[in-house]
Structures are given as structure tokens and as C-alpha cells.
A and B are shown apart, each in its own frame.
Chain A
Amino acid sequence: MRNGAETVPEAEDEARLRAEAVAFTRYLIRDEPTPEVSARYAAANRTLLGGESTARERALLATCLARPWTLPFLDAVEARRQAPSLLRDKVLVMSAVLETTTRFGARFLPLKRSGPVLLLELAVLGFVAVFRVAGGMVLVRVLPGLRA
């Protein structure tokens, strides 16, 4: 069992899972999930993520839901840690659910770009990714309960 772990109640609150689906969909593709997508996300959570979580993991999740602007930063800084992360797992599950729908799936399909445009976009996205990690490192230090 991970440090400070607690068992999440088996029947996780449906409303909270739907709120997560909304927050993660807005973060990932700047759109609203359909009720069907939210329900599938909730079902996937119950199947895959019904186990234990640490106090820090719960604090991270609560912060992202209370202050959605922190989500890109905290997701980025968690990616850099390369350690088990409930937040990362939940965002990944949302990505998988969105990617396998006809409505949102096209936003996960390959994009065709000319060489110069591709290089320019990659440079901008790389800069944004680094900025997110740096911002996330600051947030983890200043917000309560988020230090590893």
C-alpha cells in the first residue's frame, strides 16, 4: 500500500466523476463531454481506478477540480515525476474515452503539416510544455498538500 493510502469508497460519487469528466474534457480538447462520454468515463474509473489513493493524490485532484486553470500545470509536473499518479491515470482514461468516440476521435487523428509549419508548431508546443512544467513546480511548492 502506498504511503498514507486510503481506500476509495467502492461506489464513488457519480456527480464527482461527471465533474471530473467535464474538467478533463475541457482541458484536453476544450470541449464539453456528452452524457454518454461522461458515463463511460465514470464506468472506466470504477473498473480501473477503484483502489487506493494517497492524501497527496486526492489533494492534487481536488485542486484541479476546484481551480481548473491549475490542471495543465499539475498534469505536466506529474508527468515529469514519472511516478504513479492518480491524476495522470484519470486524465489518461479520459483521453482514451474521448479518442474512441466518433464525435471527438478526429481530434486524436494525425495532422498533416508542411515541414516548416510542423517545425514552427513543435517549437511553440515544446515551449508551452516546458512552461507548464515550470509553472507546475511552482504550484506544487505554494499550494498546500501537493509536495511529493
Chain B
Amino acid sequence: MLCPKCHGPMQTYNRNGVQIEQCGNCRGIFLDYGELEALTRIEAQYSAQPAPPPQAYPAPAPQPYPQQHAPSWGAPQHGGHGGGHYGHHKHRSLGHMLFSS
């Protein structure tokens, strides 16, 4: 499927059981009929949940970094999809690039 705005390739992601198409170029999001309502419903259920009981030790932060703004030409694997970018792994050439003009 191609993005209706910029004709970039759309990739499918699953969010709480809802299929979402996101453009790899402009990162625009396409929702099928009823998907926005499904997401709204899930959000309302989440908000209605009682607060978790206090803990003796603070829980680790689940997501320390919010999703970052990125340019339209950025690599498509951005944004908390659990990896894909090269920085997660140790590469000899990464070190070289970060230290040179």
C-alpha cells in the first residue's frame, strides 16, 4: 500500500490489536473504518483502570524516551518499534563515524 499523501511505502503495525498503516517516508498514519473508535475505546478502558497499589520500590520507567520528531527522509525504523536501528548493536564502523568529519 502506498501513502495517499507522499506515495511512500506504508508499513503495518499492531497497536493493542488494531492494525495501523504508517508511511515510511512522511510517517503519516492511515486508519481503516472503525479503527479510530477502537483505539479510543482501548484508551478509555486504560484511563478507567484503578491506580496500581503503591510499591515498596519504584518500578522501572517503562519508556524513558518519548517518540522523537524525525525528518521525512529519516530511516523508517524509528519510534519505539523495539529496534531495527544500527545503534543498538556494537559496530566497528559506528565508532569511526561518530569520531570523524
A, B: real partners: no
